[in-house]
Amino acid sequence: MLVFKFGGASVKDVEGVINLKSIVQLYENQTILVVVSAMGKMTNALEEVVKLFYKKEEYAQKLKEIEDYHQTLINGLFEDKTEITASLKKHIQRIQDYLESVDGQRYDEIYDQVISNGELISTLIISTYLNQEGVSNRWLDTRKYLKTDATFREAKVNWEATQSSIDLLEQNVNLFITQGFIGGASDNKTTTLGREGSDYTASIFAHCLKAESVTIWKDVPGVLSADPRLFSEYQKFDQLSYTEAVEMTYYGATVIHPKTIKPLQNSNIPLYVKPFLHPEEAGTVINSGEFLQKNISAIIVKKNQLLISISTKDFSFISELNISHIYEIFAKLNLKCNVSQNSALSFTVCLDYDDMKFEELIKLLETSFKVRYNENVTLYTIRHYDSNVLQKILEGKIVILEQLSRSTAQIVVK
C-alpha cells in the first residue's frame, strides 16, 4: 500500500486533475490510497462564508462563487456533466441548509461543518473523473474511518477507534480516493485536524494501513531551505531525519503539517515530498536516517502574528501561577504559542493572529492582567543559523523580540 497526498494547488484546475490521473497511472500495479485537499483556495473561500455568516452579513454571493469555481472544473473535465453537477449543487445546498439551521453553536463547530465540504466536493469530482477515464477507484468518506474527539478545528485523533475502523476497510480495489483534513466525532459531527491537516490525514492512514511509504505531491521540488515566494536564494534538502522535520514543522514550515511525522516515525514509514509536475524527480525523503545537511540554514517565516505583552496589575512578579493561567486561556481558545519570553514583570508571547478570537482573547486576559500588543508582526525562525544569515534577514527591520538557542533563532520583527 502506498499513500499519496495532493494539496489544493496540485488540483486547482483542469490540468492539475489530469496530472493527478497521470501520476496515479504511473503506479497502476500497486494499491494506492490518495488523500486530496480542497481545490485551489476553496478552504479560504469557505472560511469567508463562515465569517460572513457569523458576522450576520450576506454570504450567498461567496457561496455562488464557490459553486461556479467547481462548475468550471466540471465543465472542463466531464463529457456528461449531469450527475456530478447535481452532486455539486447538493453540497452547496447542504451548506445553505446547515447555516439556516444553526442555533447557538460556537464558531469553531460551525467552521468545521462548513469547511469540510471543500474536501468532500474535490474528492467527489476527482473520483468521478477517474472512473470516467477508466481509472477504477473507490471513494471513501474519511469521517467513517478517521475518528476524533469533538475539539472542533483542532480535533484529537482517537487512535484505537480509528485503527478499528480502518481495519474494516475492504481492500477490494487498487485505488482509493479520500479526503484530507477532516474526521468524524462520536456524535457524527464533522471535525477538522487544523489548517493544512491533509498531510496528517495521509500519515494516519499510512500508520494504520502499515503502508510502504507516503508521498506528498507539491508545487515545489521538495523541502526547501526557504520559501521561494519570499526568498531568491534557497536550497533543496535531499534527505531529512524525522527529528529535523519535526523541528521545522513545529516552527511553522508549511511544506508539511506539524503532526504528520510522529505516526510515520512510530511505524518507520518514509515520507517523500515530490514535485507533482515532475514526478520522476527524487524530491526529499524524510526517514530515520541522520540529518546530514546542517550546514544549510532553514528559514521559516510566519506572517500576521500577534505579539502580546502581559503583566500583573499590582506590579508583582510574573509567577508560574500567572503563566499557567495565561496558557489556560490560550488552550480554551485553541491558540498556539509560537515563541514566548518572560521577565520579572511581564510575559511576552507570539501567536497566530485570529480575527475571530482576538477580542475574546484580549477580554479574557484583561480580567487578570495588563495587556499590550502589536498586530501584524512577522516571526522568523532560523534553524542552524549563522551570523551572516541573521544579518541578511534582519537588514532594515525593527526587532521587537529575539531568542537564540544553540541551533535555533526566533526573531519577531515589524
Binding site feature residues for ATP: 5-8, 229
Tell me which DSSP letter residue 116 carries.
T
Tell me which DSSP letter residue 11 carries.
G
Taking the CA atoms of 27, 32, 38 and 41 in sequence, report the sign of the dihedral they define.
negative
Backbone angles phi, psi at 355, to 5 degrees: -65, -20
Q: Which three cell numbers stand for residue 2?
A: 502506498
Annotated binding site: 5-8, 43, 119, 229
Annotated binding site for substrate: 43, 119
Chain center to CA of 315: 40
Element (H, E) at 392: helix 387-394
Q: Rg (Cα) of the chain, in Å, rounded?
A: 22
Query: Do the strands 369-383 and 298-312 form a parallel or antiparallel pair, or are they unpaired?
Result: antiparallel
**Residue 29, number of CB atoms within 10 A of its CB:** 6
The answer to whether 13 and 40 are in contact (CB under 8 A) is: yes
Q: Which of 130, 40, 47 is nearest to 84 (CA)?
A: 130
- Which residue is associated with the grid cell 500567572? 322
